[in-house]
Amino acid sequence: MADQQEPVFHIQRVYLKDCSLEQPNSPDILREEAQPSVDIQLGVDAKNIADGMYEVSVTATVHTQIKDRTVFLVEVTQAGIFEIRHLSDEQIAPVLGIGCPQIVYPYLRGNVADLVQRAGFPPVHLSEINFQSMYEQQQAQAAQAVVQ
């Protein structure tokens, strides 16, 4: 009976959930000499999909522009399905907000770099992310919003 209460954590699957690439100003913008600006946004989402089963996804949006014209826009969502059981709500939240994204993120980085390179551009290498810091910031912002 004691073994039924031991925490369970299993990676069921890691998969590419969504992927898009737009080059709305090609081919004209490809002849530009100017250095493009790059804006990278990241997001993490977690949802319960069944009893003890969770989908955690990390989304990267990479928008590259020269002046006000888009060179390319890439959005990639990498997800994983995780079995997590016998943890309290206080324990499961950081697993979903820190541990699972750390597992999914390297796949996302590789897919973004590959997609951008296959589009004919130098690959965009996303930086390493401290998901613990990101999670703590989100918790602090949520607490601040409740106070206001």
Domain ranges of the chain: 2-147
Contact 123, 111 (CB under 8 A): no
Under DSSP, is residue 125 helix (H, G, I), strand (E, B) or coil?
coil
Whole-number Å distance between alpha carbons of 39 and 121: 15
pTM: 0.88
Left (φ > 0), alpha (ψ -120 to 50) or beta: where does 52 sit? Answer: left
Q: What's the full length of the chain, in residues?
A: 148
pLDDT at 1: 46
- Tell me, what's the pLDDT at 146? 79
Can you list the residues of the chain whose pLDDT is less than 70? 1-4
- Confidence at residue 82, expressed as pLDDT on a 0 to 100 scale: 98
Identify the H or E element spanning 80.
Answer: strand 69-85
Class of the domain covering 2-147? alpha beta
Closest among 63, 137, 77 to 105, alpha carbons compared: 77
* Helices H / strands E in the chain, number of each: 3, 4
Give the pLDDT of residue 148: 72
In this prediction, residue 51 carries a pLDDT of 93
Note the pLDDT of residue 3: 52
Per the listing, tokens 């965009």 go with 124
